[in-house]
Structure 1
Amino acid sequence: MDEENGQLRWHRRTELPLFLASMLYLFCYAVRVLAEGLSEGWRDVLLAVTYALWSLFLIDYLVRWRLSGQGLSYVRRHVMDAIVVLLPLLRPLRVVRIYETVRHRRAHARLTLYARVIAYASMSAVLLGFAGALTVYSAERGAPGATITTFGDSVWWTCSTLTTVGYGDITPVTPMGRTVAVAMMAGGMALLGAVTGSFSSWVIQTFTLDQDREPPGP
């Protein structure tokens, strides 16, 4: 019980600050990738900030691991947390937990279940798409035979990949770019499935309630 209370206290105290730190991490990474005329001095500063922020994420994971008292089984039970530590650009996707943390400080939820799922999936798609576009652009630009030569190309490719359209006019050629592509295809299908499934359930529930309210026929 004490371990669970310790985990809960740590979670509530650190989740929002760490989310803000993850957004700063994403900002620093974006500036390093997109600001081509940036001096080496500023690049070093941004790199130092990203490493410092990553160390915070690692410390948070280790503290959660220690407070859980689960040993190595904690890693198996919290695979996503381990992935987020290894790939900090994905940490903003924990926006779902941020909302839940804030909501528990209030008496009730401001959004219905369906609206929350759609909002979470939409925000996650935007964050995943932006992080993926940055990573692919960083890997592809300057590569031999690359078709993604500008950040605009990367954004266009990201949109077509997340929506599973896949026009094929622009494709990654580097191992890193293709690895990110596979991850974004899987993420895109999951997010679109969450949105369409929630919307369909909401529509069905709405029509069902309307039908139940109708007075019986003569």
Structure 2
Amino acid sequence: MGWFWWSAVTLTTVGYGDNASVAKLGKATALILMFGGLLFILGLAARIASSLTVKQLTGNPDGFNELKDRAVGTIDKSGTEDFLLEHFF
């Protein structure tokens, strides 16, 4: 269990200088707390990123037909320019 303990401590960036339990039950409890805290922070960051992304997507057009009324840009002499010229402009 020694290698697993040190790899988990390194992964969760808790550090080696902290006081650590030598009992297996104490190490198991610490592992649960470390990974639980890591998952909590990751979930919180994912939720924030997701909410920001959803807010940004609400102003986007639902389909190509809505692009006819908007100013759009593309790179000269590209496949996208050919597509837009053929279908819309």
What TM-score do the two structures reach when normalised by structure 2? 0.47
Structure (1/2) with the larger helix percentage = 1
**Computing the radius of gyration over CA atoms, which structure comes out larger, 1 or 2?**
2
